[in-house]
Structures are given as C-alpha cells and as structure tokens.
Amino acid sequence: MRRVWKWCVAGVMALMLAVVLGSPVSTQAAEKTYVIGTDVTYAPFEFADKNNQYVGIDIDLMQAIAKAEGFKVDIKPLGFNAAVQALEANQIDGVIAGMQITPERQQKFAMSDPYYKTAVAMAVGQNSEVKSLKDLRGKRVALKTGTAAADYALSLKAKYGFTTVTFDDSNNMYQDVITGNSVACFDDKPVLQYAIATGLKLKLAGPESKASYYGFATQKDRSDHLDQRFNAGLKKVKADGTYAKIVAKYLGNGTQAAQKQTSAKTQDSDRSFLGLLRENWGTLMGGLKETMIVTIVAIFFATVVGILVGLLGVLPNQFARGVATTFIYIFRGLPLLVLALFIYTGVPSLIGSKIPAFVAGIITLTLNEGAYTAAFVKGGIQAVDDGQMEAARSLGLPFGKAMRRVILPQGIKIMIPSFINQFIITLKDTSILSIIGILELTQTGKIIIARNMEGFKIWTMVALIYLIIITLLTWLSNWVQRRMEA
C-alpha cells in the first residue's frame, strides 16, 4: 500500500513540475519574441499551405513588420474566438486575424493603425434565389462567433426578420449554407471572394456594409508598446513596397486576377478522395502523432490521479472519502470544453502567469479523465466481496497490507478493461483541445479544409483515422478481458 501511495505522490509531483517547467520564464531574450494568436480558417489572410506552414497576408505582414522592427514572432493558430480570449487572459501578446477595428475592441484592446480596408458581404448557395436582405425574412443565417461580420448581421436581424446560428470557424459556417441548413452567411468580402475563387460553392449576393479596417490588437498599457512598434513597422513596409508585394501575392492586382490565378491552381490539383489523401497524408499523420502524444501523457497522469483519488474513496476515513467524492463529482460533471477554456484562459487571469496550450490540455484531460478513472478504481475495489477484507483482517493483516495483497489483485482484474476503455475515451476527447490551439488531428483537419474547402472529404479521412485507431484499441481491450477471464 505504501508503494502505491509513493507512486501516486510521485506522479502528482511530476504533473506539478510539468506545469512549472511549461510556464514561460521572463528573461531578456524571451521578451524579444512575441506570441501572436491568429485564426485557422481565414484565407487569404491566414491559412496553412500544402506543407502545413502558415501563410497569408496577415502572417507575411506580421513577419515583415517584426523583421523591420527587430523582434521575432511565434504565430499560434488558435481560431479567432480562442485567440481573442487568450489575449484577454494575457496568454498571448497580440492577435492578427482579420480583426476589424471597432469602438468596442478599442475600449478593450490597444488597436494598431489600420492595415487593410474591407467590408462585410453576404454569400448564398450557387442556386439560391436570395438576392437581397429582404429575401432573408423567416429564414436562417449562419454566422461566425465573435466577428464583426456577425455583429453586422445581428444589427440587421430585427429589421429583416431572420434567425441566426453561430459557428467557431469559417468552413462550418460555409458548409451550413452549402448543405441548405442556412440560406446565407456573412463574412468579410475579400475572404469570401478568395474562398469562392478556390472552389467554395457559394456566390455573393446583396449589398455590402460600409467600409471598415483591419487592425492588430494587443493589451493596453504594455510597457514594451508593442502596438506602437507594429505601427512603426507598418509604415516602413508600406514605404519600401513590401506591403504591396504581400497583398499582390495573395490577391493579385484585383479580384478578377485573383480568381483566375486561384481557380487555375485549384484545377491543376487532384481533388479526388485519394488525391487529397496523398496530398495531405503527412499533415494528417502529424496531427495523429500529436493526438497520440497528448493521449499517452494525459492517460498516464490521469491514471496516477485516478488511482490516488480512487484509493482515497475506499479508505476508512470520512474526510478522505469526502475528498474523493467531491473530486469525482466536480471534474466528471464539468463539460470538457468548459474545463479546457477555464484552465487555458481563466486560470492565467487569476494567477498572472501563462499556461502553455499543451500543458493546459494535459491538465484538462488529467482532471476529467482522472475523475472517471477514480470512479471505476473505487468501484472495482468495492466490487470485491466484503468477506475478503474481513478474512484478511481476521488473519492479522493490517488494512494496508490486506488491501495490497488481497483486495487490489482481485480489483485490478475488474479494472483493466476499464483502463483500456478510458484510453479510447481520452483519445477521442483530445479533439476538444483544438479549441485552445493544440494541433491534434481535429485541428489539423480544420487547417487542411481552410486551404482546399473540401470539408466532407477531409472530415471523412479524419473520421476513418479515429475509427481505425479506436477499433485496434477495442480489439486489445477484448483480448485483455478474455485473458483475464481465462
């Protein structure tokens, strides 16, 4: 019993050490590299190329400004909503993600000088009869959470009598219109134009909003004045022609030129299922590798925490049992998505220190899966007949030795299939961590779709990969169970 406790304590200490080591150290060298959050599906401003490298107007511009001003940037593809929340929690230093400058955002963040002029436009299906805002009455419109385009659409909602549904990324919003669940969506005009030019089966309709501008956002009152450094760098890259070259690289000399150029690239690529699989195989395997790493590390710590809490739940001590019951109740009851966002964006606001996305993801899974593990560890021990403990104690064995030599060997036989099943559950739950920017398999799928707009085919590939891995683990679970029963 003492050995079990030692292993449990060692595991918890290792988890705490991982958090400490994962936290950034404030040094002079680290201050020169800024962590910049961005979106994952917002071509031509930010998207991943076929080599899974992030490119786009925003990415190239940020890197050009950093070079001009003599600092470095670490680009983090978090998704727009998650990036804004991470900036609020001081997890990152800035956001560049086609972020429109609005009075509300200027109150909350330090917004840079405008770097791109845009407007909100409406897109509908290719065969849609919707031609104006009046045609939206009584129909559903798809929006992207947290965007100025969504705010614009919501300002028209009462006047034109339509309902809305929100999504966290552009592709899901577009697909909702393509499948006919919604009749229209609102997004920034250059983004819609680029997407349509690369094969998105939508068309522009209706009037566009008044012109607005994109800006770079940072926290207010920064001692390093990052917003001012961005503005100074922006002036330099505009003056030397770098800015114009970056825009022309992705949009050509105008919308028509961009459409011809991108359409030609689309036609040259193999858009079949096998062609897309060959093209993106390396990227998908990279996402699977990250998924497996997160799963293995998380299941290790979850097992340690689960065993520790599960043993507390069967000790002949009311306080210990209460602690175990409370832990299981809280972390098994909280939705995993809420827990992930709370740890990644909420806790840093309380402690005043950053938590890397990987560490936040491991802690999230450790607490959630550890609660489930604790429940079946506790249940497995309690499933052993009470007479076994009574017999061991009657032979003079103390509680700890009776638990270690009599109860646990029998309980482990009951628990092992549940351990493997929990591994499967943890593997699936890693997909939720894409919300905090971990580049696991689901997030990788989003990145690929942002480039080629082949949502159905890419999600089919992702689903098949998950099914293959889960099937293998299920076979392993059944084999172990048969061996244990033999």
List, for residues 100-139, the tens digit of each pLDDT value: 898 989 999 999 999 999 999 999 999 999 999 999 999 9
What string of DSSP letters covers 323-362?
HHHHHHHHHHHS-HHHHHHIIIIIHHHHHSS---HHHHHH
Element (H, E) at 48: strand 47-48
Residue 245 pLDDT > 90: yes
User: Tell me: the pLDDT tens digits for 31-41?
Assistant: 479 999 998 77
Neighbours of 231 (CB within 10 A): 18
* CATH number of the domain enclosing 367: 1.10.3720.10
Neighbours of 205 (CB within 10 A): 20
Residues 388-392 have a mean pLDDT of 63
Give me the pLDDT at residue 24, please.
42
Asked if residues 63 and 73 have their Cβ atoms less than 8 Å apart, the reply is yes
Q: State the Cα–Cα distance between residues 99 and 119, nearest whole angstrom.
A: 12
Residues 254 and 282 in one domain: no
Residues 187 and 157 in one domain: yes
Residues 366 and 425 in one domain: yes
Give me the pLDDT at residue 30, please.
42
Biggest CA–CA distance in the chain, Å, is: 89
- Has residue 1 been placed in a domain? no
Q: What is the dihedral sign for C-alpha 425, 426, 430, 433?
A: positive
Q: Which two tokens stand for residue 26?
A: 């404030």
Q: Is the pTM of this model over 0.75?
A: no
Give me the pLDDT at residue 132, please.
92
Residues 302 and 368 in one domain: yes
Q: State the Cα–Cα distance between residues 300 and 308, nearest whole angstrom.
A: 13
Residues 90 and 239 in one domain: yes
Residue 407 pLDDT > 80: no
User: Tell me: the pLDDT tens digits for 147-192?
Assistant: 889 999 999 999 999 999 998 878 889 989 999 999 999 999 988 8
Give me the pLDDT at residue 388, please.
61
Measured between alpha carbons, how far is residue 427 from residues 258, 321, 440 in Å?
41, 29, 10
Residues 236 and 311 in one domain: no
Residues 218-224 have a mean pLDDT of 88
Residue 256 pLDDT > 80: no
Residues 459 and 352 in one domain: yes
Residues 244 and 378 in one domain: no
Give me the pLDDT at residue 77, please.
83
Residues 193 and 313 in one domain: no
Query: Of the residues 247, 268, 289, which one is the last residue of a structural domain?
Result: 268
Report which of residues 432 and 486 the model is more confident about. Answer: 432
Element (H, E) at 89: none
- Has residue 5 been placed in a domain? no
Q: State the Cα–Cα distance between residues 332 and 409, nearest whole angstrom.
A: 26
Give me the pLDDT at residue 410, please.
64
Residues 73-77 have a mean pLDDT of 89
Give me the pLDDT at residue 433, please.
86
Neighbours of 228 (CB within 10 A): 15
Neighbours of 346 (CB within 10 A): 14
- Has residue 21 been placed in a domain? no
Residue 28 pLDDT > 60: no
The residues that bridge with 43 in the sheet, in sequence order, are: none
- Has residue 7 been placed in a domain? no
Give me the pLDDT at residue 464, please.
94
Residues 239 and 283 in one domain: no
Report which of residues 383 and 465 the model is more confident about. Answer: 465
Residue 440 pLDDT > 60: yes
Percent of the chain clearing pLDDT 70 (strictly above): 81
Give me the pLDDT at residue 393, please.
63
Residue 415 pLDDT > 50: yes
- Has residue 426 been placed in a domain? yes
Neighbours of 258 (CB within 10 A): 20
Give me the pLDDT at residue 90, please.
87
Site of tokens 């983090």: 76
Give me the pLDDT at residue 243, please.
95
Give me the pLDDT at residue 23, please.
41
- Has residue 15 been placed in a domain? no
Query: Of the residues 190, 210, 230, which one is the last residue of a structural domain?
Result: 210
Rounded to the nearest integer, the mean pLDDT of the chain is: 82
Residues 299-318 have a mean pLDDT of 86
Give me the pLDDT at residue 276, please.
85
Q: Using 50, 70 and 90 to split pLDDT, how confident is the model at 439? A: confident
* CATH number of the domain enclosing 37: 3.40.190.10
Q: Look at 203-212, 247-256, 374-383, 465-474 and tell me which has the smallest mean pLDDT.
A: 247-256
**Structural domain for 337, as ranges:** 273-485
Residues 261-288 have a mean pLDDT of 73
Q: Using 50, 70 and 90 to split pLDDT, how confident is the model at 2? A: very low
Residue 299 pLDDT > 80: yes
Q: Look at 67-76, 314-323, 391-400, 477-486 and tell me which has the smallest mean pLDDT.
A: 391-400
* Number of domains the chain contains: 3
Counting beta carbons within 10 angstroms of the beta carbon of residue 150, is it exposed (0 to 12), middle (13 to 18) or buried (19 or more)? Answer: buried
Residues 322-349 have a mean pLDDT of 89
Report which of residues 397 and 311 the model is more confident about. Answer: 311
When mean pLDDT is compared over 324-333, 405-414, 454-463, the highest value belongs to 324-333
Give me the pLDDT at residue 270, please.
67
Q: Using 50, 70 and 90 to split pLDDT, how confident is the model at 206? A: confident
Report which of residues 426 and 23 the model is more confident about. Answer: 426
Give me the pLDDT at residue 240, please.
94
